[in-house]
Amino acid sequence: MRGRPCLRPRGAVTATLCRPHRLGRFVSAELPALTEVEGAVRQLGLAMDPSELHGALCGWLAGGGAQTADWLVNVLVDEAAPQVAPDSPLDRLRRASAAQLEDRGFGFELLLPDADASLTRRSGAVFDWCRGFLGGFGLAAGAKPALSEEGGEALVDIARLAAATAQEDGDDEDEEALIEIEEFIRVAVLLLHGDCVLAVQHRRGMN
């Protein structure tokens, strides 16, 4: 991808990416379709697009934020944010995302346009997702979360992606690069969730 961020996963991220299975093969809960979430976002008049909103939700959850039905209030930092109706697309998005983050079989997925969408749209959605994730993660984890070295590196790389701009055109090499970036993000998010949620649960269980 011409002008794309130079992304070289390190440490535990590299080790995970080198495992023989592909990420997303085992899915514990299915995300609602992008079109469903788009409709819900329009109906509620939200300012975020679906991919950025999903990134914000996942950042909130990965940072240790409460998995509650009023998650929009927390993610948007707006007490006047609309309530999410039970079993609505946004409610299913929350429940599926939380379940996927807890699934250590790498079932975690990003809510992004389908592969037949243009490279511009898909790359832009990936970077929007990262911007949303950074905001949600910061709200939940705070300014100085207790991260492992690998988790800290992963957060820095997600921040670099969040600052990138959409690719206007490209070739097969660019397509492959975008797939690699998406896979990296999945692993990086699971690392951060492990540091901020699973590690905390483990320490509590030891006490």
Domains parsed from the chain with CATH numbers: 21-206 (1.20.120.740)
Q: Could you report the per-residue pLDDT of 65-122, keeping only the tens digit for each?
A: 999 999 999 999 999 999 999 999 999 999 999 999 998 776 899 999 999 999 999 9
The Cα 170–Cα 164 span in angstroms is: 16
Check: CB of residue 32 under 8 Å from CB of residue 96: yes
Q: pTM of the prediction?
A: 0.85
The residue that leads in pLDDT, 140 or 18, is 140
Average the pLDDT over 111-138 and give the result: 96
| DSSP label of 197 | I
The residue that leads in pLDDT, 191 or 14, is 191
Average the pLDDT over 125-132 and give the result: 98
Instruction: Please determine, for residue 205, whether its predicted confidence score (pLDDT) is greater than 70.
Output: no
Note the pLDDT of residue 176: 92
Average the pLDDT over 128-155 and give the result: 96
**Helices 172-193 and 89-102, axial angle in degrees (round to 10):** 80
What is the percent of the chain with per-residue pLDDT over 90, rounded to a whole number?
A: 71
The residue that leads in pLDDT, 205 or 34, is 34
Note the pLDDT of residue 107: 85
Quote the tokens at residue 77: 């930092």
Quote the tokens at residue 129: 């997702």
Lowest mean pLDDT among 6-10, 47-51, 132-136, 141-145: 6-10
Check: CB of residue 69 under 8 Å from CB of residue 151: no
Note the pLDDT of residue 121: 95
User: Residue 14 — pLDDT band, cuts 50, 70, 90?
Assistant: very low
Note the pLDDT of residue 199: 74
Instruction: Please determine, for residue 18, whether its predicted confidence score (pLDDT) is greater than 90.
Output: no
The residue type found at 93 is: L
